Amino acid sequence: MTTVREATYDVMRRQAMTTIFSNPGSTEVAFLVDLPDDLDFVLALHEGSVVGVASGWAIARREPAFVLLHTTAGLGNAVGAIATARVNRAPMVIVVGQQDRRHLALEPFLAGRLEGLAGDYPLEVISPVRAQDVPSAVARATHRARRDQGPVIVVVPMDDWEAPYDAADVSAARVVRTPVPRTVDVADLARMVADAAHPVVVAGSGNDSLDGWDRLVALAERIEAPVWQEPFGSRAGFPQDHPLFAGHLPADRPRVREALAGADLLLVVGCAALRQYPYAEGPLVPDGVRVAVVSADPDEAYRSPAELALVADPTEVVRALLALLGPAPTDAEPPRPPLVEARTPPLVEARSPSGRPRELGLLRTSDRDHHSPLRSADVFRALADVLPRDTVLVEESPSSRPLLQAMVPAREPLGFVSAAMGGLGFAMPAAIGLKMALPDRPVVAVVGDGSAMYAVQSLWTAAQRDVGVLWIVMANGGYAVMDRLAERVEGKPPWPSFPELSVGRIAEALGCRVVHVDDETALADALDDAGSRLREPGGPLLIEVAVAPDTSFAP
């Protein structure tokens, strides 16, 4: 007799979801006992870390990850991570256990009101009407997660797994996807581009693929346009060492208008137009700038204040646009300089507490007192010297993010990964999933000590499974970004610093190898050694670097 559990295993095999990321409870035991040898079980010690590891795995593979959570407590603990997975476009099927179907009406212990617990962040929440419907529900969830690149929840009562399954009654059908036609109507967009004298491109996370980069490079060179990276993007949409890369677009209206001064067309590829952080009065872009948006995400297109929005694969749109524009005229005038000076790494502008612009300190080693604390710039300069070109850099160091992006540019797709949602607790576990899915690429995570505490238990998973991630923990003993924001409103914050916190000591207790660094010599030695081992087999390494708090932050 085939059971619902065995039929679901078959669905997972057909969908290449043979790795289970989980922190289970009693409602999941029946699914997990005597797990077949071809299914791999990955335990994380908190549900946020479970979804975080699965997110890294799914982002790297662009295929759904399988997540198993425990009723209300498990799903509730994971909601923040699920929200991040949705905004980061990480496809996953999240099976959530429920109490026994036969007495759910009485709301027994551990019965969960699960359908609305994660709000609107799942693409869909499926509650199979019968045990027989579970395998087909998992198959349906897989197809939806893959098509729309996000999390889908399936709620399964615990007694369903041992119920008999009759494939003749209802089948988890094999679904064959018809390829989306490659023909895209870009005539209107091509006219906008052809009419522009000073076009500017904004590259978004949705363009982070090898084909996406190659085609957008070709377009930028064809129309001689500077390319900015979207504000607060989760991925890089353009090679940041290319001469036309202009930097990271600011996230407030006055500075956006300043950056785009002189442009007459803003072409946004792979994101919405345009993500902001602090509210400021005035228009989003300078007067006279036409805006066109290209995104595969309908929500991004619909909410963008644009003259034209194309809902389509950005790679295919740019391909079609290049074909329609044709080669550059051979008798054209010499290429005009970009509106902004191309630079690698780009200059990063910050704001002082008074609101006046100032540059972040990119000081040479000789400019610094050797007895003063290390600063973020010292760490990132040393890090840039040792990282291979194909490094996957995972970021969760809010106060020093602008400086990190300026000094360690993304040079290949997946060269930068962050939490587009803005919540903490993503980078530590996501780095594990990324490395598991991409064992041949170096994976390095730069994490603040405050940020690390949101998912520090994920380090146990890396140690237990011997996953070779390098974490750089920026230990400034406080929430530096919060301190800077408090200074802007000229207020005194109620939160304390925590100089006694040592993420390194916690990491050691969780089984990781740890190096503590508080001077330039130790930093250089630690990074040189770690850099030489990034491609070698071996377990995780955490370098805890004592740094002075960043005094500038530019959202």
Q: How many Å apart are CA 255 and CA 301, to the nearest integer?
A: 23
- Give, in order, the Cα–Cα distances in Å from 301 to each of 228, 297, 309, 365: 18, 7, 6, 45
Sequence-distant (≥ 6) Cβ neighbours of residue 120 within 8 angstroms:
none
- The β-bridge partners of 199 are 265
Q: 536 phi and psi, to 5 degrees? A: -90, 150
Q: How many Å apart are CA 234 and CA 417, to the nearest integer?
A: 5
CB atoms within 10 A of CB 229: 26
Query: What type of residue sits at position 281?
Result: E
Domains and CATH numbers, the chain: 4-162 (3.40.50.970), 187-325 (3.40.50.1220), 349-546 (3.40.50.970)
Query: What type of residue sits at position 316?
Result: E
331-354 in b/e form (b: 16+ CB < 10 A) is: eeeeeeebbbeeeebbebbbbebe
CB atoms within 10 A of CB 311: 15
For 188-241, how does the pLDDT look when each residue is reduced to its tens digit (9 = 90+)? 999 999 999 999 999 999 999 999 999 999 999 999 999 999 999 999 999 999
CB atoms within 10 A of CB 316: 21
81, with CB counted inside 10 A (0-12, 13-18, 19+), is: buried
DSSP letter at 260 equals T
- The β-bridge partners of 546 are 475
Helix, strand, or coil (residue 456): coil
- Give, in order, the Cα–Cα distances in Å from 289 to each of 250, 253, 283, 304, 335: 17, 14, 11, 14, 21
Q: How many Å apart are CA 105 and CA 341, to the nearest integer?
A: 66
Helix, strand, or coil (residue 124): strand
For 171-194, how does the pLDDT look when each residue is reduced to its tens digit (9 = 90+)? 656 665 666 666 789 999 999 999
- The β-bridge partners of 456 are none
Q: How many Å apart are CA 525 and CA 531, to the nearest integer?
A: 10
CB atoms within 10 A of CB 276: 15
Helix, strand, or coil (residue 129): coil
Helix, strand, or coil (residue 19): strand
Contact 444, 417 (CB under 8 A): no
Nearest to 150 by CA among 108, 118, 197, 106: 118
Tell which phi-psi region holds residue 107, choosing left (phi > 0), alpha (psi between -120 and 50) or beta.
Answer: left
Contact 22, 68 (CB under 8 A): yes
Q: 285 phi and psi, to 5 degrees? A: -125, 160
pLDDT in tens, the chain (555 residues): 899 999 999 999 999 999 999 999 999 999 999 999 999 999 999 999 999 999 999 999 999 999 999 999 999 999 999 999 999 999 999 999 999 999 999 999 999 999 999 999 999 999 999 999 999 999 999 999 999 999 999 999 999 999 999 988 766 566 656 666 667 899 999 999 999 999 999 999 999 999 999 999 999 999 999 999 999 999 999 999 999 999 999 999 999 999 999 999 999 999 999 999 988 999 999 999 999 999 999 999 999 999 999 999 999 999 999 999 988 776 555 545 444 443 333 333 333 323 333 333 344 444 455 557 899 999 999 999 999 999 999 999 998 999 999 999 999 999 999 998 888 999 999 999 999 999 999 999 999 999 999 999 999 999 999 999 999 999 998 888 888 788 888 888 898 888 899 999 999 999 999 999 999 999 999 999 999 889 888 899 999 999 998 776 666
- The β-bridge partners of 515 are 543
Q: 20 phi and psi, to 5 degrees? A: -110, 120
265, with CB counted inside 10 A (0-12, 13-18, 19+), is: buried
For 254-267, how does the pLDDT look when each residue is reduced to its tens digit (9 = 90+)? 999 999 999 999 99
Structure tokens that stand for 261 in this block: 């001064």
Q: How many Å apart are CA 344 and CA 242, to the nearest integer?
A: 8
